[in-house]
Amino acid sequence: MASLYRKSLWVFHLNTGSCNGCDIEVLNAFTPAQDAERFGVKLVGSPRHADAIALTGPITREALPRVIRALQAVPEPKIVVAIGSCACGGGIWHDGYSVLGGVEKLYEILEKKGIKRPITVFVPGCPPKPEAILYGILLARGMVKQKQKGRIYVESESAELMINKDLIESVKEQVMSSKISRKHVEQITSIVR
């Protein structure tokens, strides 16, 4: 990916029904304090001039046809920078009726229409800091390394030793051998199984 974009990356800012929190942070990234333009990143007015799309918002149904048209207009190879929780995974609206809920759902629709899935950079945050957006765009350019890694931990089977076996056995004995409920419990276990 880095080899594709050695030169300046021009970005088209596409709001797909966002609350404007992320949009303001995108604009902040281009102010003198963060100054994304020193890396050649520039906001452009038309998707036809852009290399990347800075996509904010959960993609409302109303916006969907325009989003698809804008994505089609960007020349290949293109990058989508999904900015904010809404664009990454739907955010607080993920199960709403009026939104698609994230770019992954958008790509499913694009694939049905025969449009190739673009390279995507996810920038989570609600809203992300301007620095985080800058980091995401530079990750697309290959200037910084990815820090976030997925993590899966599954407890080993030896966890069963944490509870005293004798205690469990004694409870079982107690229930099974008590004169009052033994017969009933046997009936119950047969029903449960």
CB-CB contact of 94 with 102 (8 Å): yes
Q: For another protein, which is the closer residue by CB, 14 or 139?
A: 139
Dist CA 141 CA 5 (whole Å): 6
Give least dist CB 182 to another protein, A: 9
Q: What Rg, from alpha-carbon coordinates, does the chain have?
A: 26
Give least dist CB 21 to another protein, A: 10
* CA distances for 155 relative to 103, 150, 168, angstroms: 33, 17, 21
Scan residues 151-190 and list those touching another protein (CB under 8 A): 151-157, 159-160, 162-163, 167-169, 171-172, 174-175, 180-181, 184-185, 187-189
Q: For another protein, which is the closer residue by CB, 47 or 90?
A: 90
Give least dist CB 51 to another protein, A: 16
Scan residues 86-145 and list those touching another protein (CB under 8 A): 88-92, 94-95, 102, 104, 119-126, 128-129, 131-132, 134-136, 138-140, 143-144
Dist CA 21 CA 61 (whole Å): 20
How many CB atoms are located within 10 Å of the residue 85 CB?
23
Scan residues 43-72 and list those touching another protein (CB under 8 A): none
* CA distances for 33 relative to 22, 38, 43, 131, 133, angstroms: 17, 11, 16, 10, 14
Q: Which of 35, 62, 108, 111 binds another protein (CB under 8 A)?
A: 35
* CA distances for 104 relative to 45, 79, 88, angstroms: 25, 14, 8
Q: Which two three-digit tokens encode residue 29? A: 């990234």
Give least dist CB 46 to another protein, A: 25
Binding site residues, another protein, CB under 8 A: 1, 32-35, 38-39, 85, 88-92, 94-95, 102, 104, 119-126, 128-129, 131-132, 134-136, 138-140, 143-144, 146-157, 159-160, 162-163, 167-169, 171-172, 174-175, 180-181, 184-185, 187-189, 192-193
